Chains A and B, each alone.
Chain A
Amino acid sequence: AQKVTQAQTEISVVEKEDVTLDCVYETRDTTYYLFWYKQPPSGELVFLIRRNSFDEQNEISGRYSWNFQKSTSSFNFTITASQVVDSAVYFCALSEANQAGTALIFGKGTTLSVSS
C-alpha cells in the first residue's frame, strides 16, 4: 500500500533560520512521483516540485532545496534563510505510475510558522 508520513506536525522558527521538513514514503512500485505542495491560509495548494523515482539528484531552487534518497524512502525539503512569507502548511505527496490515473496520496502536512 502507498503511504506518506510527515512526522513533524508543527515547526516554529525565527526568520533567517534554516528549516527542514521531513517526508517518508511507502510504495511497492518501482516507478513513482514525489511532490511537495504549499498551502497558504487561502487554501489553494501551490505546486513546489515534482521528482520521479529514477532521478535522485538533489535540486535547489532559490532558497528551497530537496533531498531525495531512495535508500531511506525519504524526500526532505529544506528552506534556507526562512522568511515570514514561508509560513504555511507543507504537504508531501506520492503518485504511483502503475495506477489507472494520477491520484496523489498526501501526508498529513507540516505547519511551518516563521516569526520575525
Chain B
Amino acid sequence: DAGVTQSPTHLIKTRGQQVTLRCSPKSGHDTVSWYQQALGQGPQFIFQYYEEEERQRGNFPDRFSGHQFPNYSSELNVNALLLGDSALYLCASSPEQGEYTEAFFGQGTRLTVV
C-alpha cells in the first residue's frame, strides 16, 4: 500500500517564478492538506482540500493556491516566488470519517528559491 507520495523531491527556482508541487494521497484517503516547514521550525498549515474544494485555509497569502482532482490527488501552486518561500513543503492525507483520525505525511518537496 503506497503511502503519501510527493513530487518532485527537490526543486530550485528563481525569485519571481511560479512553482507547482504535486501530491498523491494514501489509498482510501480523500482529504489532502499542505504544510510549509521552514528550517528549524514546525510545519505551518497552508490549506486543506476535500471534495475538490478548499475547505480550510491557514494564514498564507493568495500567492499560494491549490487544486484537488477527482482522484483526490492535489497540487500546490506558488506564484511570484520570494526567497522566504524556501522551505520543505509537506502534503498530508487523511480519510474523511465521523471521528477524527490522524494525518499521514509524505516525505516532502524541498523548495529552494534563489
Chain B associates with chain A: yes
- Interface-forming stretch among A41-49, A64-72, A77-85? A41-49
Give the chain A neighbours of B104 by CB distance below 8 A. Answer: 47
Picked from A47, A97, A105, A109, the residue with its CB within 8 Å of the CB of B103 is: A47
Chain A residues 22 to 69 lying within 8 A of chain B, measured CB to CB, are 33, 35, 37, 42-47, 50, 52
Q: Give the residues from 85 to 114 in chain B that come closer than 8 angstroms, CB to CB, to chain A.
A: 88, 90, 92, 94, 100-108, 110
B39 to nearest A CB, angstroms?
11
Give the docked Cα–Cα distance between A44 and B58 (Å).
21
B-side binding surface: helix, strand, loop or mixed?
Answer: strand
Number of CB contacts from chain A to chain B under 8 A: 71
Q: Would you call B56 and A42 a contact (CB within 8 A)?
A: no
- Within 8 Å by CB of B31, from A35, A99, A102, lies A102
Bound CA span A35–B90, Å: 17
Contact at B43–A47, with CB atoms within 8 Å? Answer: no
Evaluate contact between B107 and A100: CB separation under 8 angstroms.
Answer: no
**In the assembled complex, which residues on chain B have CB atoms less than 8 Å from the CB atom of A105?**
45
Chain B residues with CB under 8 Å of A44's CB are 105-108
Q: A44-B108, A47-B103 are in contact. Are A102 and B43 (CB under 8 A)?
A: no
CA distance A70 to B41 in the complex (A): 26
If A45-B90, A103-B58 touch, does A91 touch B33 (CB 8 Å cutoff)? no
Least CB separation from A44: chain B residue: B107
A106 and B48 contacting across the interface, CB-CB below 8 Å: no
Could you show 13 A-B contacts with beta carbons less than 8 Å apart? A6-B42, A42-B107, A44-B107, A47-B102, A47-B103, A95-B100, A99-B56, A102-B31, A103-B58, A104-B45, A104-B103, A107-B42, A109-B42
- Which of A's residues lie within 8 Å of B, judged by CB? 4, 6, 33, 35, 37, 42-47, 50, 52, 91, 93, 95, 97, 99-109
Give me 17 other A-B pairs in contact (C-beta within 8 A), A4-B42, A33-B100, A102-B33 excluded.
Answer: A35-B102, A37-B105, A43-B90, A44-B108, A45-B92, A46-B105, A47-B105, A91-B42, A99-B56, A103-B33, A103-B45, A103-B56, A103-B58, A105-B45, A106-B35, A108-B42, A109-B41
